[in-house]
Chains A and B, each alone.
Chain A
Amino acid sequence: MSRPPVGFKVNGKRMRFNGAPMARLSDVLRDELGLTGTKIGCNAGDCGACTVLLDGRQVCACLTPVGQVEGREVLTVEGLARDGKLSALQVSFQKHGAAQCGICTPGALMAATDLLARVRRPNADQVKEALGGVLCRCTGYQKIIEAVMDAAGSPAIPRAPAAEGAIGARVPKIDGIAKLTGAERFGADAIPKQALWLRVVRSPHHRARFTIGDLDDVLRHAPGLARILSARDVPSNGFGIYPSVKDQPVLADGEARFRGEAVLALVGTREAVEGLDDAGLRIEYQPLPPVMGLDAAMAPGAPLVQPAKPGNLLQDGGVRKGDAAAQFAHCAALAEGCFETAFVEHAYVEPEAGWAERKGDRIEIHVTTQTPYMDRDEVAVVMKLAPEQVRIVPTACGGGFGGKLDLSVQPLIALAAWLTHKPVACIYTRTESMASTTKRHPSRIHAKFGCDALGRLLACEVDADFDTGAYASWGPTVATRVPIHATGPYSVPHVRTRGRGFFTHCHPSGAFRGFGVPQGAIAHEAMMDELADRLGIDRLEMRRRNALKAGDRTATGQLLEHSAGLLDCLDALQPHWTRMNAECARFNQQAARAGDALRRGAGIGCMWYGIGNTSLSNPSIIRVGLSRTGKITLYNGAVDIGQGSNTILSQIAADALGLPMSDFLVVMGDTDRTADAGKTSASRQTFVSGNAAEFAGTDLRRKIFLAAGAPEGEWRDRRYRLSAERGAVVFRKDGITHRLELGALPGDTDRDALTGTGTFDPPTTPSDQDGQGVPYATYAFAAQVAQVEVDLQLGTTRVLRLVAAHDVGRAINPIQVEGQIQGGTVQGLGLALMEEYVPGRTENLHDYLIPTIGDVPHMECILIEDAEPLGPSGAKGVGEPGLIPTAPAILGAIHAATGVRMRQVPVLPHRLLAELRKHARP
Chain B
Amino acid sequence: MPAYARPARLEDALQVLKRGNTTILAGGTDYYPAHADKPLREDILDISAIRGLRGISDGRDHWRIGATTTWTDLIEAKLPPLFDALRLAAREVGGVQIQNRGTVAGNLCNASPAADGIPPLLALDAQVEIASDAGSRLIALEQFVVGNRRTVLGSGELATAVIVPKPKCNARSHFLKLGTRKYLVISIVMVAATIEHAGGKVRAARIAVGACSPVARRLKKLEAALVGEQLDAALGAKALASHLQPLSPIDDVRASRGYRTEAALALVRRTLDQLGAIT
A residues neighboring B (CB under 8 Å): 1, 3, 20-22, 24, 42-46, 48, 51, 54, 57-60, 62-65, 67-68, 70, 111, 114, 128-135, 274-275, 429-432, 597, 793-796, 833-834, 836, 838, 841-842, 844, 846-847, 849, 851-855, 908-910, 913-914
Contacts and interface: CB of A to CB of B under 8 A. Distances in A.
A63 B180 contact: no
Given A57-B72, A274-B39, A62 B180 contact: no
A847 B91 CA distance: 20
B33 A44 contact: yes
A842 B36 contact: no
Contacts of B178: 794, 796, 909
Interface stretch (B22-30, B153-161, B198-206, B222-230): B22-30
Contacts of A24: 32
Contacts of B125: none
A132 B32 contact: no
A314 B91 CA distance: 49
A42 B36 contact: yes
Contacts of B182: 128, 132, 852, 854-855
B100 A134 contact: no
A64 B48 CA distance: 11
A846 B256 contact: no
Contact of A908 (B91, B100, B255): B255
Q: Which 8 A-B pairs have the closest CB atoms?
A: A133-B95, A854-B182, A910-B259, A132-B183, A44-B33, A852-B183, A910-B255, A793-B266
Interface in B1-31: 1-4, 6, 25, 27-29
- Among the interface residues B28, B48, B254, which one has the most CB atoms of the partner chain A within 10 A? B28
A275 to B, nearest CB: 5
A48 B97 contact: yes
A48 B100 CA distance: 13
A675 to B, nearest CB: 40
B198 to A, nearest CB: 29
Interface residues of A, dominant DSSP: loop
Given A64-B28, A132-B96, A855-B181, A909 B36 contact: no
A22 B44 contact: yes
B2 A22 contact: yes
Nearest to B189: A794
- Among the interface residues B36, B95, B260, which one has the most CB atoms of the partner chain A within 10 A? B95
A20 B94 CA distance: 27
- Among the interface residues B40, B97, B183, B188, which one has the most CB atoms of the partner chain A within 10 A? B97
Nearest to A795: B259
Nearest to A24: B32
Interface string B30-57: 0011001101100010101100000000
Contacts of B180: 833-834, 849, 908-909
A133 B94 contact: yes
Contact of B33 (A45, A67, A795, A834): A45
Q: What band does the interface of chain B fall in when counting residues whose beta carbon is under 8 Å from A?
A: 35 or more
Contacts of B267: 794
B181 A834 contact: yes
A45 B98 contact: yes
A199 to B, nearest CB: 10
Contact of B101 (A46, A64, A430): A64
26 contacts: A3-B4, A44-B32, A45-B29, A45-B97, A57-B72, A62-B32, A63-B33, A63-B101, A67-B4, A68-B48, A114-B96, A128-B182, A131-B95, A132-B95, A133-B96, A431-B37, A794-B267, A834-B181, A846-B185, A852-B181, A855-B182, A908-B180, A909-B178, A909-B180, A910-B188, A913-B263
Given A58-B100, A846-B186, A851 B181 contact: yes
B169 interface: no
Given A846-B184, A909-B188, A794 B256 contact: no
B58 interface: no
A834 B2 CA distance: 41
Contacts of B184: 46, 132-133, 135, 846, 852
B32 A67 contact: no
Interface of B: 1-4, 6, 25, 27-29, 32-33, 36-37, 39-40, 44, 46, 48-49, 72, 91, 94-98, 100-101, 178, 180-186, 188, 253-256, 258-260, 262-263, 266-267
B185 to A, nearest CB: 7
A45 B4 contact: no
A838 B251 CA distance: 14
Contacts of A836: 253
A17 to B, nearest CB: 13
Nearest to A910: B259
Contact of B256 (A48, A128, A432, A910): A910
- Among the interface residues A114, A597, A796, which one has the most CB atoms of the partner chain B within 10 A? A796
Contact of A853 (B46, B72, B183, B253): B183
Contacts of B262: 793, 913
Contacts of B37: 43, 429, 431-432
Contacts of B3: 1
B181 A847 contact: no
A41 to B, nearest CB: 11
A854 B29 contact: no
Given A43-B36, A111-B96, A909-B178, 20 more contacts: A22-B25, A43-B32, A46-B184, A58-B100, A68-B6, A128-B182, A130-B96, A133-B95, A135-B184, A597-B266, A794-B266, A833-B180, A836-B253, A847-B186, A849-B180, A852-B185, A853-B183, A854-B182, A910-B260, A913-B262
Given A21-B4, A63-B27, A429-B37, A45 B94 contact: yes
Given A909-B255, A910-B259, A65 B25 contact: yes
Contacts of B97: 45, 48, 51, 58-60, 63, 111, 133
B60 to A, nearest CB: 32
Contact of A847 (B39, B72, B95, B253): B253
Nearest to A830: B181
Given A44-B33, A57-B72, A59-B101, A849 B96 contact: no
Contacts of A70: 6
B32 A20 contact: no
A274 B37 CA distance: 9
Contacts of A431: 36-37
Nearest to B262: A913
A42 B258 CA distance: 32
B102 to A, nearest CB: 9
- Among the interface residues A20, A58, A132, A429, which one has the most CB atoms of the partner chain B within 10 A? A132
Contacts of B98: 45, 60, 63, 133
B100 A854 contact: no
A63 B29 contact: yes
Contact of A134 (B2, B39, B95): B95
A48 B95 contact: yes
Given A22-B2, A132-B184, A44 B36 contact: yes
A584 B40 CA distance: 54
B4 A20 contact: yes
A520 B88 CA distance: 41
A128 B100 CA distance: 16
Contacts of A128: 182
Contacts of B181: 834, 849, 851-852, 854-855
A597 B183 CA distance: 23
Contacts of A46: 33, 184
Given A60-B97, A133-B184, A836-B253, A22 B4 contact: yes
B46 A65 contact: yes
A275 B41 CA distance: 10
B253 A67 contact: no
- Among the interface residues B29, B184, B263, which one has the most CB atoms of the partner chain A within 10 A? B184
Contacts of B254: 908
Nearest to B23: A22
B253 A842 contact: yes
A48 B2 CA distance: 28
Contact of B185 (A22, A51, A795, A849): A849
Contact of A67 (B39, B46, B91, B100): B46
